[in-house]
Structure 1
C-alpha cells in the first residue's frame, strides 16, 4: 500500500492541482490504499464525460484523505465556485459557534435584535415578535414573499435586503411548517452579524475559513448596506467544501480545535421542521438507507457527508434545475452518482488492491476529464464563472 505524494498527483494530471496551496490542504491517497475501489470512481468520471455533463469539480474524501479529485477543462484546485445555498450551511456553522460562545441562542427572538440594529424597521418587525433564530434556521418562520419570476430584487440589486425581508407578512405562526424561502437567510445574516458584533462574513473568516486553512474564499453580493445574504454569495474551492463535510463528520472538531461543540453539531443536523431538514442541513435525502447529511446549492453544488463510512463527496456543477426543490435534475444526478458509483467504490466488495493497472486507469481518466468541459445544463449568471 502506498500513499500518493503531491508530486505524483501533479504528474498524474498537472492541470488538476495547484501546488502553492497544497501545504494547507488535505493529504492524498490512492483509493485502494484506504480500502476504496478506484474502478467505480473511474467509471463515474467516464459516465460524466459520455453524458457531456458540466461537472466542474468532483472530490471524494475517505478517512481524511482525498482519494479522488477531478476537475474539468481549464480548472484547477484553486478555482472557487458560487455555492448558492451551501452558503446557508456555513451560516448554520457560524450560528452554532455563536451559540457555543453564548452570543446567540436558538430560542432568541430575532425582532428585538434586528430592531436594535435597525430602529427604522421597528414597525416592520412588529408582526414578527414570535420568530426565533431556530425558526429562521429551519425554514419555519411562516413568512411569505412573492418572488418575481426573473431578476427578483432580493437577489439582484436590492439596496436594503433586510428592509425587503422585514416587509414580508406572516402566513402562519412560526414553527408550524417547513417552507423554503430565501427571506430566512437574510434574517439569519442580519441577526447573527448583530450577535457577533461584526459582519457575518468576517466572523466566518475568523471562526471557520482561517482555522480550517481555506484559501481563495469570498463572500460576495452584499447590498448597499453591506449586508450579505446567508443564502447565497459564498465562493469556496471544492477542497474547502470537503473540509466542511469533514467538520460534520468530526462533530465540529478540526485540527485539534473544537470549532463547534459536538452537542451543537447534533442540534444543527437533527430534524427540525421536516424529517429531512435540520438547521440549513439536509438529512438522508441523497442516501436514505444510512445516516447522511448534506449541503445543497442551486444548479448542482453539493457536499455529502457519510458518517458511517467517514467519507465526503463534493461536486460543483451546472446541471439542470427543473423538477423542484428536492427532485430537480441535479439532485437526481447526485443521487445516482453516489448510489451507483461512490457507494460501490467505498464498499469495495471485490477487495480491490492497488496495482499499476489501477494507477494507470485513474491517471488516464483524470487526464481525459481535464480536457472535458461539458455542456451547461442551467442558465449561467456571471457569478457562475469559476474564479481564482
Structure 2
C-alpha cells in the first residue's frame, strides 16, 4: 500500500456523492455551520454562515486559508497539531465571500469528511469500506481519519495499492458504474469533474483537478486526484485510459506529470 496524501481528497468527494445519493446529505447547497451545533464559532459572520458543502468541495469556502499564501491566517501545520481540525478551520476569519476565489485549504475536505460521519453515523473509513471499497473489491487499505493532533504526521490520509487506485479511476472513467452496478450516480461524477473554481491557476471540480498535459505538441485533457510527493490518479476520457503514479518526492517538485507526458501520453501522438 502507498500513501495517497492529498489524492485522498477525491475519495472524500466520492463519499459525499454516495451520501447524497443515499439521502443522508440533502444536497451540496446545505450550509455547513448547522452541522456543528456543538461549536461556538469564532469570527462568525453572515458570510461564514453562507458557506455550503459545495463551497468546501470547490475550495471556495472564503476562509482565510490558502497553502500558497504565506500571509493567510490558516496554516496547514498549525491545523495538523491542533486539537480539532474542523473547529480550527471553521474558526478562521473570512478573507473572501463563499463561492469566490479558489484557495487550496485542506481543512475544507476534512470538514466535509466530518459532515459525512455525522450524517451516516459511521466513521469515514467504515462508510468507505461499505459503500465504495467492498463493491470495488478493495480489501487492503489503511485510513486513520481522526482530524486532530493524533494525525499530525499522517494527515488523515488514505493508503492503497496502485491497482486499487486504478479501480477508483476506472469507476470515474465509467461514470460511476462498476460491473454493471451504479456505485455513484452519473450526475455526481459529471458534477465532480465540472469546473467550479480555479485553484492555483488550474480548473477545479469537487476535490478533483481538471488538468491537461502536453506531449509532442498535442494537448491531453484529463482529471486528476493528486497528492504531495507525486501521487496521481489520472482519468483520460478521450484515450479511455486511467494512469496511476506513486512517488516519494515529498515537499519538492515531482516528475509525475513529466513522466506521464513523456512516456505514456507520447504513445498517443503521431510523431516519432
TM interval, short-chain normalised: 0.7 to 0.9
Q: CA RMSD in A?
A: 2.6
Instruction: Give the secondary-structure state (helix, strand or coil) at the position aligned to 1:291.
Output: strand
Between 1 and 2, higher relative CO (CA 8 Å, sep ≥ 6) is seen in 1
Deviation at 1:263, TM superposition (A): 1.2
TM-score, structure 2 normalization: 0.85
The one of 219, 227, 233 aligned to 1:297? 227
The one of 121, 129, 135 aligned to 1:211? 135
**Equivalence for 2:30:** 108
Unaligned 5+ segments in structure 1 are 1-79, 323-328, 351-388
Shift of the 348–232 alpha-carbon distance from structure 1 to 2, 3 Å rule, reads: farther
Deviation at 1:224, TM superposition (A): 5.6
Partner Cα separation in structure 1 for residue 125 and residue 151 of structure 2:
9
Instruction: Give the secondary-structure state (helix, strand or coil) at the position aligned to 1:304.
Output: strand
Superposition map of 1:1-388 within 5 A? 80-104=1-25, 105-115=27-37, 119=38, 121-124=39-42, 126-127=44-45, 128-145=48-65, 146-147=73-74, 152-156=77-81, 158-220=82-144, 222-223=146-147, 232-274=156-198, 276-286=203-213, 289-319=219-249, 321-322=251-252, 329-330=253-254, 333-346=255-268
Partner Cα separation in structure 2 for residue 164 and residue 83 of structure 1:
23
Task: Indicate if the aligned counterparts of 1:178 and 1:273 stay in contact, CA closer than 8 A.
Answer: yes
Task: Indicate if the aligned counterparts of 1:113 and 1:191 stay in contact, CA closer than 8 A.
Answer: yes
Partner Cα separation in structure 2 for residue 91 and residue 223 of structure 1:
14
TM-score, structure 1 normalization: 0.61
Task: Indicate if the aligned counterparts of 1:139 and 1:178 stay in contact, CA closer than 8 A.
Answer: yes
Shift of the 125–102 alpha-carbon distance from structure 1 to 2, 3 Å rule, reads: farther
Partner Cα separation in structure 1 for residue 95 and residue 194 of structure 2:
25
| Number of aligned positions between the proteins | 255
Task: Indicate if the aligned counterparts of 2:31 and 2:49 stay in contact, CA closer than 8 A.
Answer: yes
Task: Indicate if the aligned counterparts of 1:160 and 1:223 stay in contact, CA closer than 8 A.
Answer: yes
Deviation at 1:336, TM superposition (A): 1.9
Deviation at 1:348, TM superposition (A): 8.1
Deviation at 1:335, TM superposition (A): 2.4
Task: Indicate if the aligned counterparts of 2:84 and 2:148 stay in contact, CA closer than 8 A.
Answer: yes
**Equivalence for 1:61:** none
- The structure having more radius of gyration, on CA atoms, is 1
